[in-house]
Structure 1
Amino acid sequence: MKRLLPSLLSALLLPLLAVVGPLLAPHPMDQPITIPYGPAGTNGALLGGDQLGRDVLSRLLHGGRDLVISSLAVAVLVTAIATVLGVAGALRPGFGRFVERVADVFMLLPAVLGILLVTLSWPQGGRLALVTAAVALGAPYAVRFMTAAAAPVVTTGYVEAAVAGGERTLHLVFREVLPNLRSTVLALFGLRFVAAVYVVATAAFLQIGPQPPAADWALMIRENSAGIVLNPWAVLAPGIAIGLLAMSVNQAAGSLAPRAERT
């Protein structure tokens, strides 16, 4: 545990910083303090100014919280739904075939197109519509993953004995099968968080969800791409932050997996 803690804390540092970032911002996120695309260091702007002369660093610190919360919500919901449905499908083949057919239908729809259809038809759109669409489109892949992972476990003797003893499906899922799949569930969560960051950031880049003048990392990339030559940090900083966020949470989930395997 002592060896695990430093790596876990370092992996979670960026997500925590994104959540508390607005409290650390040196300037208001919507107040111009320099010329448009001012270079780094101008008028106290460490990373320069954006297309309206607003402090890039302050907007960077404000722009990660919604992305983290939305991606975390998607990853948790997808992992939970896929874990229950996947293990139940492995235990009950008839139910499993039904779940797989439904999953096949959803998998035919491209993620970005599906998000566009849901968010544009949802009353007032917003984050709730985006999270709902991302969960609906991400769950089918995760369900198939968990079904394949649970298949060897459900054929073991102790699970077959519990089935023969008449135990209910929920008891079999949570008491007999899942304790042996904890590392798999953690790995799935890490993968789904990375996928959620990609989907949520792509939607924000397409202006589905947050709208100007909101501070959002993907939206910052879209807004400032025209001035990348004048102030590259206005585009590079949020792009690097998105990549590091996805990798850090995936690393945190991966660092927990060996420990879950040993317990």
Structure 2
Amino acid sequence: MTVQALAGPAPLTRRVGPAVLLSGAFLVLLLVAAAVPGLLAGDDPTATDPLATFLPPDGAHLFGTDQLGRDVFTRVVHGARHSLAIGAAATVGGLFIAVVWGLLAALSGRFGDAVLMRVADALLALPGLLLALLVVLITGKGVVGATLAVAVGIAPGFARVVRAQALVVRRSGYVEAAIGLGVRRPLVVLRHVLPNTFGPLLVLATVTLGVSISTGAALSYLGLGAQPPTPEWGAMLTESQGFLHLAWWAALFPGLMLVLTVIAVTVVGRHAQNRSEGRYAS
């Protein structure tokens, strides 16, 4: 028997493929558009021009103009900030809720764990968008309400990951040794349990970011998120849907940017997840 056979199957070796590279480059460009939109499109995204309505894409207007004469390219570029901000803020908010939820479930005893996880199961049984709509009905429409709704929608899944990881860490030898030495339980949680739950959680958050962005845009499309004339991709789709026969480009480009963003985030997130699970050789 060879040494390689004794060592077991070798990890899958794979270089960073073109899909990951293209997705990463697209996300970098998107972050530039979100951070410094004037670098790519210096015009006012809300400026109207009644004499330039429904102009098709050309050299002066790369993505054409909409029903109010606003430059669609400028609005798409500036819309990156709003769409990404809703998705990112909702993901961070969902992580915060999940950490508190999951740690309480893992450390509160059998009864508390059962109650908290049954609540998570009940929320996970609802479609994510339906749950977000229910939250918006309570909080009210707008960017803040949409962000909170998306955060609540993704928190139960994150909470289960935090709980599972916390249970593993809680039974580890160094945690038991710390408790045996008299270290207070809150300090043990902060020093040992909490840091060891972040690794898998952050990778999962990267994958879930695409879902948060698309759900936030869906709420804006339904009129429950960002409100016109805010240049947000979902809101732009709502404004342009009544003029598809006159200006298809006004809906095509924000919709295309939304789809490409979700795909790029998912590709990069899946790659990070595979590497963290040891499926790719470093």
TM over 0.5: yes
Query: How many pairs does the alignment contain?
Result: 257
Gaps in structure 2 of 5+ consecutive residues: 1-14
- Does 51-60 or 13-22 show the bigger shift? 13-22
* Residue 158 of structure 1, CA deviation: 1.8
CA 1:159–1:63: 2 relative to 1, 3 Å = same
Q: Residue 80 of structure 1 corresponds to which residue in structure 2?
A: 96
Q: Residue 3 of structure 2 corresponds to which residue in structure 1?
A: none
Q: TM (normalized to structure 2)?
A: 0.75
Work out which of the residue numbers 21, 34, 39 in structure 1 matches 2:56. 39
Contact kept, 8 Å, 1:107 with 1:140, in 2: the verdict is yes
Q: Residue 117 of structure 2 corresponds to which residue in structure 1?
A: 100
Distance in 2 of aligned mates of 1:253 and 1:174? 27
* Residue 226 of structure 1, CA deviation: 4.3
Distance in 2 of aligned mates of 1:9 and 1:91? 38
CA 1:132–1:204: 2 relative to 1, 3 Å = same
Q: Residue 214 of structure 1 corresponds to which residue in structure 2?
A: 230
CA 1:111–1:82: 2 relative to 1, 3 Å = same
Distance in 1 of aligned mates of 2:252 and 2:231? 15
* Residue 107 of structure 1, CA deviation: 3.2
Gaps in structure 1 of 5+ consecutive residues: none
Distance in 2 of aligned mates of 1:239 and 1:78? 25
* Residue 197 of structure 1, CA deviation: 0.8
The 5 Å alignment of 1:89-128 reads: 89-94=105-110, 95-122=112-139, 125-128=141-144
RMSD over equivalenced CA pairs, Å = 3.4
- 2:113 partner letter: G
* Residue 149 of structure 1, CA deviation: 3.5
Contact kept, 8 Å, 1:47 with 1:56, in 2: the verdict is yes
Larger Rg: 2
CA 1:182–1:115: 2 relative to 1, 3 Å = closer
Percent identity of the aligned residues? Answer: 32
Q: Residue 138 of structure 1 corresponds to which residue in structure 2?
A: 154
Distance in 2 of aligned mates of 1:137 and 1:234? 30
- 2:203 partner letter: A
* Residue 75 of structure 1, CA deviation: 0.7
CA 1:108–1:180: 2 relative to 1, 3 Å = closer
Alpha-carbon deviations, 1:101-124, whole Å to 9, x = none? Answer: 33234334443334334334436x
Q: Residue 67 of structure 1 corresponds to which residue in structure 2?
A: 83
* Residue 100 of structure 1, CA deviation: 0.9
Q: Residue 209 of structure 2 corresponds to which residue in structure 1?
A: 193
The 5 Å alignment of 1:16-27 reads: 16-22=32-38, 24-27=40-43
Alpha-carbon deviations, 1:44-71, whole Å to 9, x = none? Answer: 1111112333211011122221222221
Q: Residue 183 of structure 1 corresponds to which residue in structure 2?
A: 199
Contact kept, 8 Å, 1:186 with 1:256, in 2: the verdict is no
Matched, 1:240 2:249: no
Distance in 2 of aligned mates of 1:83 and 1:178? 8
Distance in 2 of aligned mates of 1:254 and 1:174? 29
Q: TM (normalized to structure 1)?
A: 0.79
* Residue 203 of structure 1, CA deviation: 0.3
Distance in 2 of aligned mates of 1:190 and 1:74? 12
CA 1:159–1:253: 2 relative to 1, 3 Å = farther
Distance in 1 of aligned mates of 2:201 and 2:67? 43
